[in-house]
Amino acid sequence: MHTACNAVPYRFEPHACARRTLRARVWIAANHFFSRDDAQANCWLWLHHDDGRVLALRLHANCLERDELIAPLLAAFAADPQSPNWQRVGIGPVWELPHAPVVPVPRWAVSWGHPVQCAIRDFAAGLDADVLTALGRFDPAGPFFGSTYNYNQLAVLPQPLRQHRLQALTDFPPLVAPLLLSGVLRPDMFGTDTNESRWSVSASPVFAAIDLGQDLIGALAQQHRIDRALVRSPLCRRPWRCGRIPRDVLRLLHALPAHARPHEVEHVEARLDLLLALPLRADSSRDTERLARAFASGWNRVWRTLEQRFGPLAPRLRDTRDFLAAALGQGAVPATLSGIDVERLGLAWIARRGLSSLLAASQRWHARPVSAISLDDTLPDSVVALLGGPIPGNAIVRELTHRQTLVDEGTSMHHCVADYWQQCVLAGTRIVHLETAQGERATAEYEFAFAAQPPTFCLVQLRGPCNAEPTDAMEHLATTTEQQLNSSTLSECRRRLAIEVMQARQRHLYAPAPRRLRPLDLRSRQELAMVLAYCVKQEDWLAAPDELLRGRIAGFHYASGPALLDRLATGDTLTLVREPDNAHDCLAVRLDWNGHKLGYVPRPDNERIALLLDAGDALAATISAVRSDEDSWAPVEFKVIRESCKST
């Protein structure tokens, strides 16, 4: 008798198949895969065992066509599948390639009758056609699923288990594939890539439903916390380009009324970049329901209306963040909303007034002149220039490395780049003035991925005067400038800049942003008042009476935080530890999680907390939010309350 606890992902033992004989093997020389010189020192071997498992290996080129090596190779894998590659056999390094294609496909043309093609056809003929077809449905969509790992997860299953899982993948590909398979960005032919994107999901009820023939629709609805109608819809019946439906998108689709939901995958995937550009963060199901109100009249109808009125939406939506930051500085924010930020205000505006109102208000604000700007005196007035050397043609590329040049650029180009100085210092952003040989002008923003290895720049905005869209010639110049910023000659400069940025963020992350003095128009001020009044009525957004502080943990990346991020959860208890002997700050208050140091209460906010702790007051701290899916220097939010108030 089978039970639900037996319904777990099937796993095969590598050493078991090593004792069996082979059905087929294919040797592939490097010149059939790659043209670059450094790849020619390798060869590749595919093995098909009689139990159905496929093994792909990379070896030294001098092993090519040496079938006598196969037996000792398999024996080494059988003896210790986890041993380092270079200890397998005495023939040099051997790499197992779980994310190589299950069937080798030469990149360079060889005739149909070539021995390599014949060997590949014979090899493929012995594979499970149903499994290959099931995996092949995902390949045109985006991530690579046709790997040896995924093939083996299905091909070696006994019947009817194999057929049940293939049927589930066919019926609900974007919901089931993340549970059964491993999606990667691209095939890995060297065994050294780190592009794997496995999705770790606890899915025992789903496996039980698949393997034991139970109610799969109900299990998927329960697993993803969506309704059964959404599971049965075409959105969950076809593969997605990203391999799965992003969690936040799935929750938003669930929150939409049935009549407002889109019917085709393309209607959602075509606008995923717009969802990412929305100036908001939905932390809870209630937040998702608030966002869903913006699409109550119909998903496609809302987006089409916005596109007809405002044109390309992605840059317009990104622009709203600057407007919302200005609105926070100019609006009378009630004391009960002391923790409100740009993203919370953006969600409230969309829920109360709609996306069209927010975009229109942002458009009006960006069109107004800047009367003045209050600068943050805690930041330096200049940053180190990176660009240099000749520019192709007669183009002009001028890096804006001084605070005043940013102000001048914003004034002459009539957009809000004057407000970006803090990003230049604390995030390494580079703002560049560009002019083509024909006299076209634009301002480019290059975001700096300072935490990446290696650090690189990426073009994120390119705007002409009054936020006009750039021409193809300007796009080409901006891309050329991006390549120059990322050139190998500047690699050491980028590395030093990354260190400087991390140090500057640690010193100034919580310093107040410069105040935008481009005034809101009367209509926007009236709408802002309505939005703030709406916020006050949202009980889950109000600061609790006993709440002393809410903020982000400072120094998170200098402590144990990054290694623990996946284990942290909203509501977890934190320990407040005074450090009066701290060499950098005698008012330092450390935040610990289960004995691990996560960081500190931000310096601008720690005085009151430190004095209360020194006075013997009972304070408690908890995690209020974890931004584990965003590239943030301070991804964990916390709050501090009085324990006496909590008990009452």
Q: Say which DSSP state 487 is in.
A: -
More confident residue, 606 or 21: 606
In sequence order, which residues have a C-beta less than 8 Å from that of residue 414 and are 6 or more positions away? 367, 369, 465, 466, 467
Distance of alpha carbon 59 from alpha carbon 309, whole angstroms: 58
Task: Look at residue 238 and tell me whether its pLDDT is greater than 60.
Answer: yes
518-552 burial, b at 16+ Cβ within 10 Å, e below that, comes to bbbeeebeebbeebbebbeebeebbbeebbbbbbb
The beta strand positions in 242-395, using DSSP E, are 373-374
In sequence order, which residues have a C-beta less than 8 Å from that of residue 137 and are 6 or more positions away? 169, 170, 173, 239
| 602, 509 Cβ separation under 8 angstroms | yes
Three-state secondary structure call for residue 400: coil
Distance of alpha carbon 384 from alpha carbon 492, whole angstroms: 13
CA-derived radius of gyration, the chain: 29
Q: Say which DSSP state 547 is in.
A: E
pLDDT for 568? 84
Find, among 169, 129, 45, 140, the residue nearest to 95 by Cα.
45
Percent composition of the chain: helix, strand, coil (DSSP 3-state, to 5) = 45, 15, 35
Instruction: Tell me the backbone φ, ψ of residue 442, rounded to 5 degrees.
Output: -160, 160
Return the structure tokens found at 137: 């449905």
Domain 544-647 matching CATH 3.40.50.410: the answer reads no
Distance of alpha carbon 10 from alpha carbon 2, whole angstroms: 15
Distance of alpha carbon 148 from alpha carbon 146, whole angstroms: 7
Block residue for tokens 């006299």:
439
| 48, 23 Cβ separation under 8 angstroms | yes
Find, among 620, 579, 625, 624, the residue nearest to 603 by Cα.
579
**285-317 pLDDT per residue, tens:** 888 999 999 999 999 999 999 999 999 999 999
Mean pLDDT, range 257-269, rounded to an integer: 93
Q: Exposed, middle or buried, 481 (CB in 10 Å: 0-12/13-18/19+)?
A: buried
| 480, 442 Cβ separation under 8 angstroms | no
**492-527 pLDDT per residue, tens:** 888 888 888 877 776 654 444 445 467 899 999 999
Q: How many CB atoms lie within 10 A of CB 164?
A: 19
pLDDT for 378? 67
Mean pLDDT, range 248-253, rounded to an integer: 92
Q: Show contacts of 196-205: CB within 8 Å, 24+ apart.
A: 196/99, 197/143, 197/243, 199/244, 203/179, 204/4, 204/5, 204/7, 204/8, 205/4
The model's pTM is: 0.67
Beta bridge partners of 623: 638
Block residue for tokens 């398979």:
181
In sequence order, which residues have a C-beta less than 8 Å from that of residue 267 and are 6 or more positions away? 299, 300
| 56, 44 Cβ separation under 8 angstroms | yes
Mean predicted lDDT score pLDDT of the chain: 83
| 349, 280 Cβ separation under 8 angstroms | no
Instruction: Tell me the backbone φ, ψ of residue 567, rounded to 5 degrees.
Output: -95, -10
| 97, 188 Cβ separation under 8 angstroms | yes
Task: Look at residue 645 and tell me whether its pLDDT is greater than 50.
Answer: no
Per-residue confidence band for 374, with pLDDT thresholds at 50, 70 and 90 = low
**39-67 pLDDT per residue, tens:** 899 999 999 988 889 999 999 999 999 99
**96-150 pLDDT per residue, tens:** 899 999 999 887 777 888 888 999 999 999 999 999 999 988 866 567 889 999 9
Q: Give me the residue spans of the domains in the chain.
A: 1-214, 396-508, 544-647
As a whole number of angstroms, the longest Cα–Cα distance in the chain is 86
Task: Look at residue 377 and tell me whether its pLDDT is greater than 80.
Answer: no
Distance of alpha carbon 584 from alpha carbon 580, whole angstroms: 10
| 41, 30 Cβ separation under 8 angstroms | yes
Strands ordered across the beta sheet of 456-463: 396-399, 430-435, 441-449, 456-463
Q: Exposed, middle or buried, 648 (CB in 10 Å: 0-12/13-18/19+)?
A: exposed
